[in-house]
Amino acid sequence: MNELQGNRLIGNFSELRAAGKRALVPFITAGYPDLETTAALLRDFGSRGVRICELGIPFSDPIADGPVIQASYTEALANGVTSDRIFEMVRGYRKSASGEMALVAMVSYSIVFRRGVGDYLDAARGAGFDGLIVPDLPLEEAAQFEELAAARGLANVMLIAPTTPPQRQLRIAGHSRGFIYFISVAGITGERNKLPEASIAAVAELRKHTGTPVCIGFGISNAATVKHVCEVADGAIVGSAIVHRITDAKGKPRDVLVRDVGNFVGQLLAPIA
């Protein structure tokens, strides 16, 4: 799609692929424990070589998030975090010297629909987002949303579950821009010691049929699993393990929290840097 020329998400994956490298995609909850810390974490991640980051937009009823991320959403909402405040934070990040990471919003369609799809996409693009992951957007409605997003230079990233039949996987892949989010395990997010080899094999098969990068998420919690996943996938998405460490460091000064969490992200990145 010509509208997506210049999109950071697509450009960063192209550069990584040309260099024979893989992506670490950290997930953090926007506004947890506060928006200033979120912005500081983004700057830290970028300084360590992270090229793409996923920001969770807090929602009261997430459909696939485990207890760690759910608790972070609940606290952020209680502190008054809204999409508009997140957009303002992202605008500030983009103005900073280190504000070059590709940013993808993980956002419920309920939030987008309530505001109006066009208005929400306009605001996300104006803030500096490069793509959206809408986990409750069904495939049957994806084509129209994909078109509206692309017209604004935004990539619509689709999810594929391990239980999705192969032909439907290919249809979803055909509507996914930027990358394809392959869910490693059925169920909810959370840290796991090992991922099913069937999911790794499914990703290897999927990559034979699409030129769009494929990233694996759910359950990745350590550097060894990042390395294993990236032997077949274009990237590894790590969420709960990072949010867990933010929770553990909440009582510390912001610079210490950012350093501690950033060091963990650096450890995850090391095997594929």
Q: Which residues are catalytically annotated?
A: 54, 65
Q: Count other Cβ atoms within 10 Å, centred on residue 180.
A: 26
Q: What are the backbone angles phi and psi of residue 215, rounded to the nearest 5°?
A: -115, 145
Half-sphere exposure of 13 (CA within 13 A, CB side): 23
End-to-end Cα separation, the chain, in angstroms? 29
